Amino acid sequence: MYRTLYPDAPGLHHAWYSKEKRNGSFALEKCQCMRFQYRYHLDWFKRIFGFIILLISLGALAWNETFLLNPCTKLITISNSRQAVESSQSYHEGMQAVTVLKSPEAILPENDGKLVYVSGYLDIFEPLQDAPYGVSIAAVKLKRRVQMYQWTETKNEQDEELPNAYSSYRHAKEWKDKLIDSSKFVIKEYQNPKQIPIESQVRLSNKVHLGKFTLGPELNEKFNNFIQFTSGERPDNQDIKMHMGLYYHSADIWNPSVGDLRIQFSFAGPADSFVSVIAKQAGHELRSYETESGNEIAFIHEGKRSHWEIFTKEHSTLTAYCWIFRSLTWIFSIFGTSMASKTFSAINRRNPIVQNLMSAGPTKFSIVCATFMCLSTIGSIWFHHKPLFGILLFTFSTSLLLYYALLGSENNFSNCKLPHRKNFLPRYLQD
């Protein structure tokens, strides 16, 4: 009836309808193809990025183990400061080579060039001074910290995702150690000075004595346990004001202006403090000692400590830094292996060990493989230094890998469901 009344209306077999249908199918196929290409390229990017992370992690781990065996340590340890990382070889060599001196008041020529342990009180004959502020103290280091009152600009948290043109900013005045470049502010009406007129600095005493010995410059540089102090006298300059141990270059310390300064003084290594030193006796000086492997030993600890306690402290620090770095590289290796796991399974498609590991799940596969590669890397580095330790690491890593591979094969066999025995019987016998 419809075709009789409307003979020219397009139908299912009309050319125009067929063309539109073909165009729609083509567009759908093209969209699906583009989506597949996007996922394909993204998948390969993840694999390549995972391989890069894995290689960098293993390379960093190998470098760390090599560095622990042959580092270049020109370090000195002060209590409550960042401590040194020393090699295992230098540690044992220093323990065997150290000579204990009974008193720092006698310099024996037969110990010249040897690694010695000595303890005593610091003597500083010339105090460090900062004349404009009337500061003077007998210490190894005198630090002057200068802060300037400046404008700061921060974007409001609710506008973090908006462009700069649509964001709001908050400006505040704060004391800062470094100069803030106000030319980079979005709102230009807030301006800071172009430079800080007085610089922060650390003054170092060149004549620090321990009995008859003089500490070398490499030892003096390592006093970093600073203590804040203030002078008992007011500076001669009336423009400098004092408040709460700070020196102000300001007309009003209660309402400072942009560009005002405040200065804080601190010292490290005060005179008459008791220290324990392990270093080389070079004439009347104590300098860094070079081991046979080319490393340098120079340690100083505040307080009375034996040479055994100092080396034990250094060795515990070595162990702590070592395991922190190993843990970080192991975690990154897990991430890299997880991202590149599909490539491992594709390359070793017919390898039953890899397939059994993959059947345990991607997480367990990544952890086991990363552990195997990290332990093998550590074992290969330590094999030349301690063969037994290297062999034990190789054995443990290989056993771990084989254990989970065999465990995966047993799981695959147990998960394989066979049909019930009665299903093989004819239907009339199953009842």
- pLDDT per residue as tens digits for the range 294-305: 777 889 998 899
* Residue at 300 is within a domain: yes
Instruction: Compute the residue count for the chain.
Output: 431
Give 1: exposed, middle or buried? Use CB within 10 Å, 0-12, 13-18, 19+: exposed
33, two tokens: 């193809």
In a shared domain, residues 218 and 80: yes
The answer, yes or no, to whether residue 82 has pLDDT greater than 60, is: no
- Whether residue 24 lies inside any domain: the answer is no
Q: Within this chain, do residues 192 and 212 fall inside the same structural domain, yes or no?
A: yes
Q: Write out the two tokens for 269.
A: 């290594």
Which of 304, 321, 347 corresponds to the end of one domain? Answer: 304
Stronger pLDDT, 276 or 357, i.e. the higher one: 276
Query: Are 296 and 407 within one domain?
Result: no
Mean pLDDT, to the nearest integer, of 185-195? 90
Kindly give the pairing relationship between strand 227-229 and strand 240-243.
unpaired
Task: Give the pLDDT confidence score for residue 75 in this predicted structure.
Answer: 38
381: tokens are: 């580095």
CA distances, 241 to each of 168, 193, 248, 369 (Å): 37, 21, 5, 65
Residues 387, 408, single domain; the answer is: yes
Cβ pair 59, 336 in contact under 8 A: no
Assess contact for 386 and 398: CB atoms under 8 A.
no
Beta bridge partners of 277: 118, 300
CA-based torsion, 15, 21, 27, 30: positive or negative: negative
Domain containing 377: what range? 44-72+306-414
Number of domains in the chain: 2
288 and 183 in one domain?
yes
Residue 81's pLDDT is what?
29
pLDDT in tens, 322-345: 788 888 888 888 888 888 776 666
276/317 same-domain check: no
For CA atoms 400, 402, 405, 407, give the dihedral sign: negative
Share of the chain above pLDDT 90, in %: 27
Are 238 and 156 spatial neighbours (Cβ–Cβ below 8 Å)? no
pLDDT band at residue 277 using 50, 70 and 90 as cut-offs: very high
208 vs 326, which has greater pLDDT? 208
User: Are 177 and 130 in the same domain?
Assistant: yes
The number of beta carbons lying within 10 Å of the beta carbon of residue 49 is 14
